[in-house]
Structure 1
């Protein structure tokens, strides 16, 4: 009997519904398609500096409870309408979470929060939630981690990020080259900016790579390149990079690479030392520099939820605090609302 050489460490391999089937089951609809297309136009204009408003990508670190997530979306939609002359608010709707070692990997991977990894149900919940947010008139933002995921949800996404851990990944640069929305590349966890700049350049070029068709068949994908990519400063192991000197250095590096000097600054992650209590001060400093005339700062990111802080997980679901993050710590809604009003007044 021949030796076994495949699937030695595979416990199961469960087929997923095809992207086309899931989109037919949970359709986008013409109205939502028009909204997503229009929001992407607004974002491209903002990121290029041709819209005087300030972009703020704000919301929970991750969506784990769609009911509290939708309550947050209702509040943000009302605020976005009030501040629309000065700010363009986009809601963070993050379903995939990169892990340094192990941990909960997001709603798509584990929607029941119990380790059962019911990915088909996770994809369904993601599409339903995105439709609900769009129906409130809010553009959506997410981090795309698995290169297969966009086939299932990208038609409902206005802006996406490539995270600090994957900005150097050829797979993610290729994926970004074919995405239909603006994409931000974060500097690496070490703080290195070169990788993000190289990623923007690579994603702007045509690429051919292995992918999955709408019918769920392995395919060869050829792209035209994505011209709407940019850099996100999120700090690094050696400290924050939202100060004037760091932003000036980033702007000069972009110009030297013959790229547009527009930057989005993340007020969370390493820029606040992962301490949500410091996040408002970081955001205020970003806004101060923009108000002082630095138009290379086109937007900012905030991690915000109904309740401040974060809670340990895993734990029994009936012990979870509603509206509090189970991943990174967030500022609460009251702080968020006050910060955004203050930013609108200063801008």
Structure 2
């Protein structure tokens, strides 16, 4: 959404409401999903730079916008990788801890944040297809198993 939270919240609103559409020649009615939620993954600005959006001020701004829209079941997942980490996968633990720190300082943010998306696999980093390292990502770089276990334990200790 290029960092524009109003676009993201409009998507949440649309997902929470019923729709009728044609699919393969059939008219389909949906009831909407009251549990649709927001995901902050950072964004890329017009200069191609990764910009994070997990800091306290952005979380507070999102809470206020969520409240103003009157959406059901306020919920946020913070993507600790992608543009939020500047694609530096080893930053994921620090980002999770910073968000939890924000939760400790604001009951509103604590209410809104429901979890994290973390890129994790068996072996840390990534590889090209055909390099043949078992358990190593062939897409985005990931935390390895040991780093992931440590992160989950740290999160448990902080909540």
1:220 lines up with 2:27 in the alignment: yes
Matches within 5 A, 1:198-347: 198-212=10-24, 218-238=25-45, 239-259=51-71, 260-292=73-105, 293=107, 294-313=110-129, 315=130, 319-347=131-159
1:195 lines up with 2:7 in the alignment: yes
Q: List alignment gaps of at least 5 residues for structure 1.
A: 1-187, 213-217
Q: What is the deviation of 1:250?
A: 0.7
Which structure shows the bigger proportion of residues in strand conformation?
2
CA distance in 2 between counterparts of 1:248 and 1:291 reads 13
CA distance in 1 between counterparts of 2:22 and 2:85 reads 37
Q: 2:48 corresponds to which residue?
A: none
Q: 1:163 corresponds to which residue?
A: none
Question: What's the TM-score, normalizing by structure 1?
Answer: 0.41
Q: What is the deviation of 1:324?
A: 0.9
More deviation, 191-200/328-337: 191-200
State the structure with more CA Rg.
1
Q: What is the deviation of 1:330?
A: 0.6
**Any idea what SS the aligned residue of 1:327 has?**
coil
Q: List alignment gaps of at least 5 residues for structure 2.
A: 46-50
> Given that residues 286 and 300 in structure 1 are in contact (C-alpha distance below 8 angstroms), is that contact kept between their aligned partners in structure 2?
no
Q: What is the deviation of 1:320?
A: 2.1
Q: What is the deviation of 1:321?
A: 1.2
> Given that residues 127 and 136 in structure 2 are in contact (C-alpha distance below 8 angstroms), is that contact kept between their aligned partners in structure 1?
yes
**Any idea what SS the aligned residue of 1:304 has?**
coil
Cα deviation, 1:88-132, whole Å, max 9, x if unaligned, reads: xxxxxxxxxxxxxxxxxxxxxxxxxxxxxxxxxxxxxxxxxxxxx
Q: What is the deviation of 1:230?
A: 1.1
Q: What is the deviation of 1:291?
A: 3.7
Q: What is the deviation of 1:312?
A: 2.0
RMSD of aligned alpha carbons: 1.6
* Alignment length (residue pairs): 150
**Any idea what SS the aligned residue of 1:331 has?**
coil
Question: What's the TM-score, normalizing by structure 2?
Answer: 0.86
Q: What is the deviation of 1:226?
A: 1.4
CA distance in 1 between counterparts of 2:104 and 2:138 reads 34
CA distance in 2 between counterparts of 1:296 and 1:224 reads 24
CA distance in 1 between counterparts of 2:37 and 2:140 reads 24
> Given that residues 307 and 333 in structure 1 are in contact (C-alpha distance below 8 angstroms), is that contact kept between their aligned partners in structure 2?
yes
CA distance in 2 between counterparts of 1:225 and 1:277 reads 37
> Given that residues 126 and 141 in structure 2 are in contact (C-alpha distance below 8 angstroms), is that contact kept between their aligned partners in structure 1?
yes
